[in-house]
Amino acid sequence: MAKSSFLSDFKAFAMRGNVIDMAVGVIIGTAFGKIVSSVVTDIITPLFGVILGGIDFEGLSVTVGDSVITYGNFIQATFDFVIIAFSIFLFIRLISKLHSKKEEEKPAEPAAPSKEEQLLTEIRDLLKEKK
């Protein structure tokens, strides 16, 4: 019986909206990360290389004894992180602006009737009742 309860608990957990939303977010985030990594690797890094005189970050290293410290890989990974974080920031900012514009476009609720309008409505209703 415990197995059945475990499976039903797991099914309830896995089918909750939050878990599914998170899974979709992770999948989209992974795909977006690949796109941004490609932009960084294939477009931005070569442009910086041209601007900086052909410097290739990944090729930078120092030999200490028999060990090779490839600090260029660290610089490139840091550079990739900054570009990815910045692009995600811009994407979220764009989504937020689009979302706020949708909220602004919602029609305003009609204003509540003034006291005069309420009084006139009551008088009209009373007059209708007399007839």
The predicted-structure confidence for 58-112, as pLDDT tens digits, reads as follows: 778 899 999 999 888 888 888 878 877 887 788 788 888 888 877 666 666 777 8
Distance CA 121, CA 124 (A): 5
Distance CA 64, CA 104 (A): 61
CATH code for the part of the protein at 2-130: 1.10.1200.120
Q: What is the pTM of this model?
A: 0.47
